[in-house]
Amino acid sequence: MDSNTLLSIGFCMWKPFQKGIEKLAPENKGVYAYRSLTSLNLKVGASDIMYIGRAMGAFHHIKRCLNEYLHPGRSNWTKLRIHRRALTERWQVSWLLTDSPDQMECDLLRRFYSEHGQLPKENKRWPPWAGFLRKNLFYPGEVPDVHFPLKSMTFIIISQLIGR
């Protein structure tokens, strides 16, 4: 999976990630991706996709997300890390509007993982909600050995709800 794959499924043309990009972005929900100008070698194959994220809608739309990556603040480590790398390495960004960004992000990450044996370089872990959707992330027999941060918490909450 690379940037051409994303274009083929409907992502818009790649645009340089720089000041002013947020003015081009829509105020809609969807998924977005960052790419590097050069491909990186991964566990299996290579890809120029560096990060895949989602914008859930009304207040948290694509325009706002890109603006937050341009002005990340001090406490959001993911956005700060991506901001530094994206500007230094002249990354590009693209997006796809969708009514179900969480499911689309899940599908893209699953596809990337199944092709490359790992997540995109800057997706350091599965999204927190992925633990709840674990059964939807992978086909039977292909669940990866990765950390799902809410897995044990989910078990505790469910155990308390059913009284065990």
Q: Could you tell me the domains of the chain?
A: 3-123 (3.40.1440.10), 125-164 (no CATH)
Say whether 144 sits in a helix, a strand or coil.
Answer: coil
Give the pTM. 0.74
pLDDT of residue 129: 56
Q: Identify the three-state secondary structure at position 47.
A: strand
Rounded to the nearest 5°, which phi and psi values hold at 34? -110, 145
Quick one: DSSP state of residue 9? T
pLDDT tens per residue, range 66-76? 888 777 777 77
Rounded to an integer, what distance in angstroms lies between the CA atom of residue 132 and that of residue 89? 34
Q: How many CB atoms lie within 10 A of CB 111?
A: 14
**CA-derived radius of gyration, the chain:** 16
The series of mean pLDDT values per 10 residues for the chain, 164 residues long, is 91 87 83 91 92 83 82 77 83 90 89 91 74 48 45 46 53
Q: Which parts of the chain are beta strand (E)?
A: 15-16, 30-41, 46-55, 92-97
Q: Left if phi > 0, otherwise alpha if psi is -120 to 50, otherwise beta: which for 73? A: left
H/E element, 98 = none
- What does DSSP say about strands 92-97 and 46-55: parallel, antiparallel, or unpaired? unpaired
CB of 69 closer than 8 Å to CB of 86: yes
